[in-house]
Amino acid sequence: MTHSFNRLTTIAALDIGSSKVCCIIAKISRDKRINVVGYGYNASKGIKNGVITDLNQATLSVCNAVETAEQMANERIDRVIVNISGDKIKSVIKSASISLNKNHPVNENDINKVISKGINKINVEGNELIHCLPMSYRCDRGEEIKDPRNIFGEELSVDILLGLIPDNMFKNIGTVIENAHLEIAEKAFTAYASGLSCLVEDEMELGATVIDIGGGTTSICSFKHGHPTYFSALPVGGNNVTNDIAWGLTTSTTHAERLKTLHGCAFLTSKDKEETINVYPVGEEDDSSIKQVPKAELISIITPRIEEIFELVNHKLEKHGLRGISSHRIVLTGGGSCLSGIRDVASMVLDKQVRLGRPRNMLNLPDNLCNPAFSTAVGLLLFALNYTEKKPGKIINKPTRSTTGLGHIFGWMKQNF
């Protein structure tokens, strides 16, 4: 589906993370160019491992980020496209097939018919449906086809990727958004949005997995043939590294975060044994109480946690059948990916080609946002711009309400499509 912009349209992205909350406000021009006009971010509170733990604190974090973005943009917003994270997200594949007229090639109506059959009466079993994405087609149960149009056959089948999150987790996010006097226009998984901002076209086509290392959650999204094929997440991230440092060196979490940023590395080198770093014992912030420890001691705390994260990722990829595919690339992003040496450790543990990803698929992006920590927020804007998902008209075991995502987002964009 193509869209034409009749005038400037305002969209807003809200990235709610365990370490920060970020809001970006942008204008979309007639030629579908995104121009960021305001942004704001601050440390998040009331959120742990992607889960809302304190509604009031989380709401305040959202309000502060949104207000800063509104002041810069000189514009009020009332709807946002929001990221969804947490280690309870999961993906399920649903298949469907229809009979074809063997005397006529597959057309658009056939494609719409098989998709409609696939998404009809989806049973989400106590989950909120976040994504509903056709992945691949087959004619007569043959090889995977990206676009079946004009192909002859007797049967057309499709695999549809469903992205799910437990109802209660989504309700808590919705409550925070509502308390901030905002509405959810649409939602996207964290790593999916990051992939839209970080991956190049060839990576999406040939196969790549985005690993977004946030503060409390490591989000995973695999791509192939230009679309997602798998969603997952882990309840560990950069904050776990910081907490390990605080415990190991008996210092405050604030100072531990500073040590990680200034001196941290994902692997140990011979020079680390010779260098020393200054550590403030917890509760003592004056220079007279500084103790000096070998830098190697700091690195020896960081390395096991980083290796553990990638071992857990490896287990996820193995279950999905991606571990043994050497051509499948890994792209690291998120604030946690900024740790020195993390790419080398990921390559060693995962035994794959690894690169660091940052927002790259948007022109004229402010310098402050050209950082892996903002991959998700930028990707949410791209997700809104290219929204094509079709949601089912009926969902089993859920309260009755509108679930047509296209209606939500196109209404939000002021009927400019």
pLDDT attached to residue 8: 55
Cβ contact 208:331 at 8 Å: yes
Long-range contacts of 306-310 (CB under 8 A, 24+ apart): 306/241, 306/266, 306/339, 306/342, 306/345, 307/345, 307/349, 308/236, 309/213, 309/218, 309/234, 309/236, 309/237, 310/345, 310/346, 310/349, 310/350
Q: Which residues pair with 15 in a beta bridge?
A: 22
Residue 315 within a domain: yes
Residues 224 and 336 in one domain: yes
DSSP strand pairing (208-213 vs 329-333): parallel
Cβ atoms of residues 17 and 52 within 8 Å:
no
Q: Distance (Å, rounded) from C-alpha 26 to C-alpha 194? A: 17
Would you say residue 7 has pLDDT above 60?
no
pLDDT tens readout for residues 75-93: 999 999 999 999 999 999 9
| Residue 39 in domain | no
Q: What is the CATH number of the domain that holds 329?
A: 3.30.420.40
Structure tokens at 327: 């051509």
Reported confidence tier of residue 266, pLDDT bands at 50, 70, 90: very high
In this predicted structure, what is the pLDDT of residue 294? 94
Structural domain ending residue among the three candidates 166, 187, 218: 166
What is the chain's percent helix, strand, coil content, to nearest 5? 35, 30, 35
Domain count, the chain: 2
In this predicted structure, the answer to whether residue 250 has a pLDDT above a threshold of 90 is yes
296 inside domain = yes
Identify the domain containing residue 157 by its residue range: 90-166
- In b/e form, how buried is each residue of 64-80, taking b as 16+ CB within 10 angstroms? bbbebbbebbeeebebb
- The answer on 141 and 98 residing in a single domain is yes
- Same domain, residue pair 161 and 239: no
> Are residue 160 and residue 308 in the same domain, yes or no?
no
**pLDDT, position 393:** 65
* pLDDT above 50: residue 255: yes
Within-domain flag for 368: no
Tell me the per-residue pLDDT of 110-145, one tens digit each, with 9 for 90 and over.
Answer: 998 998 888 887 778 889 999 999 988 999 988 888
Q: What is the pLDDT of residues 149-175, one digit of tens each?
A: 999 999 999 999 999 999 999 999 999
Report, as an integer, the average pLDDT of 195-216. Answer: 95
**pLDDT on residue 119:** 84
Pairing of β 208-213 and β 79-84: unpaired
Q: Name the band, by pLDDT with cuts 50, 70 and 90, for residue 103.
A: confident
Average pLDDT over residues 308-324: 90
Q: Is residue 330 part of a domain?
A: yes
Is the pTM for the entire model greater than 0.85? yes
Is 70 exceeded by the pLDDT of residue 394?
Answer: no
Q: Does one domain contain both 215 and 294? A: yes
Q: Output the six-digit token pair for 405.
A: 């995502």
Q: List the beta strands (DSSP E) in 58-182.
A: 79-84, 90-99, 122-123, 127-139, 155-166
Residue 33 lies in a domain: no
Per-residue pLDDT reduced to its tens digit, 27-56: 998 888 899 999 999 999 999 988 899 999
Task: Tell me what the pLDDT averaged over the chain comes to.
Answer: 89
Domain shared by 129 and 254, yes or no: no
Angle between helices 238-248 and 253-263 (to 10 degrees): 110
